[in-house]
Structure 1
Amino acid sequence: MFSKILLSAKISDCRGAVAVKTAILMVLLLGIVAMAVDIGYMMVVRNQLQNAADAAALAGCNRLYNRDPSVTMAEPNWAQAEAHALSTLQLNQADNKALLTGDVTTGWWDYAQNKDNELCYGTVCSGTVPYPQFNSISLPANYNTYNYAPAVMVEIEKTAGMNSGAITTFFAGIFGIKDYDSKANAVAIAAGESIRPGVLAPFVLSIEDLPTYLDDYNFEEKQTVKIGSAYKSNQAENYDIAGQWTSFNTEINNVNELRDLLNSGNSMVVNPDNTTYVYPGVSTTLYYDNSGNHEALHQEYAGKDIILPIVDGDLKDEKKEWLPIKGYIGFHLDCAGKACNSLGFNNDKVVGGYFTTGPILFSGGISGPAFGFYGPTDRCRIAQ
Structure 2
Amino acid sequence: MNISASINYNKLNNNQLLSIPINVEQTDLPFKGEVIFNNALDPYQKAFDVFQQMGYRIPEENVQPQPMNNSLENIQLKSKMQAYKHKRVNDNYEEVRGLAAKRGVADGRPHIAGISEVIDNIYTDYQQKYGELVKASMQYMQDMNIMASKLSRYIEAGENGKIHIKLEDTLRAMDEIVAKYSGTSVTSEVDGETKELKELREELRLAYERIEVIKTNGGVSLAFEFMNVVNLSNKIKEEMKKLNLKSVGGYFGKWEPDFDKAKPLMEINGTEQEYAFWEKKLQGQGFIVKRVNGALRIFPDFKPVKEIFYTLNHSSATWDTDGSDISSQEFQSLQSIVDSQKGAINSSQSRLVETFRQDDSHFETLIQLLIQLYKDLQQYNNSYVNM
Same fold per superposition (TM over 0.5): no
More helix by share: 2
Q: Structure 1 length as normaliser, TM-score?
A: 0.26
More strand by share: 1
Q: Structure 2 length as normaliser, TM-score?
A: 0.26
